[in-house]
């Protein structure tokens, strides 16, 4: 697997070959994230995008991943700005659950407008 020089994944090890000499998965192991220091809380605005946050806070849209790393409790980075579905309590009645789903769909409930997310400190790039 070829990676660009300077890639965040450059030093990540691939999966080890099994007894047959073939790797069990043609990919890389998870990348070590470290412990990003969150310095700001940002309130999500309507129609915000991760690349826009990267541009706004790090002066490079490609550094959106820093926002994702600071908010590591979400499995997929896009979930930071968007809900994947309505939150329905386990003890909600069927009528309450239906009302929640309808409200979610009516509002196009995808955006997490007003939710707070963390913004990590900018890395010091001095040699």
Q: List, for residues 1-48, the tens digit of each pLDDT value.
A: 677 888 878 888 888 888 888 878 878 887 777 777 778 999 998 889
Provide the residue range defining the domain that includes 99: 47-120
In a domain, 6, yes or no: no
Per the structure, how many domains does the chain have?
A: 1
Query: Which pLDDT score is estimated for 93?
Result: 92
Query: Which pLDDT score is estimated for 126?
Result: 40
SS3 of residue 94 by DSSP: helix
**Tokens 């605005």 correspond to what residue?**
45
Q: What digits encode the pLDDT tens for the residues 74-83?
A: 888 888 888 7
Query: Which pLDDT score is estimated for 73?
Result: 83
In a domain, 127, yes or no: no
- Give the predicted TM-score (pTM) of the model: 0.63
At 50, the pLDDT band (50, 70, 90 cuts) reads very high
| Burial of residue 105 (number of CB atoms within 10 Å: 0-12, 13-18, 19+) | exposed
In a domain, 96, yes or no: yes
At 99, the pLDDT band (50, 70, 90 cuts) reads confident
In a domain, 88, yes or no: yes
In a domain, 23, yes or no: no
In a domain, 91, yes or no: yes
In a domain, 13, yes or no: no
In a domain, 37, yes or no: no
How many alpha carbons lie under 13 Å from residue 119 in its C-beta half-sphere? Answer: 18
More confident residue, 15 or 55: 55
């Amino acid at each position: 697997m070829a990676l660009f020089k300077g890639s965040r994944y450059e030093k990540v090890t691939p999966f080890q070959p099994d007894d047959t000499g073939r790797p069990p998965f043609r990919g890389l192991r998870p990348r070590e994230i470290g412990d990003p220091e969150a310095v700001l809380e940002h309130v999500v605005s309507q129609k915000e995008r991760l690349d826009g946050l990267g541009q706004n806070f790090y002066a490079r849209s490609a550094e959106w991943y820093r926002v994702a790393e600071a908010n590591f409790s979400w499995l997929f980075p896009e979930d930071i700005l968007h809900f994947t579905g309505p939150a329905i309590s386990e003890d909600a009645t069927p009528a309450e659950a239906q009302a929640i789903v309808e409200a979610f769909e009516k509002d196009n409930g995808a955006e997490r407008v007003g939710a707070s997310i963390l913004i990590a400190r900018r890395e010091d790039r001095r040699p």
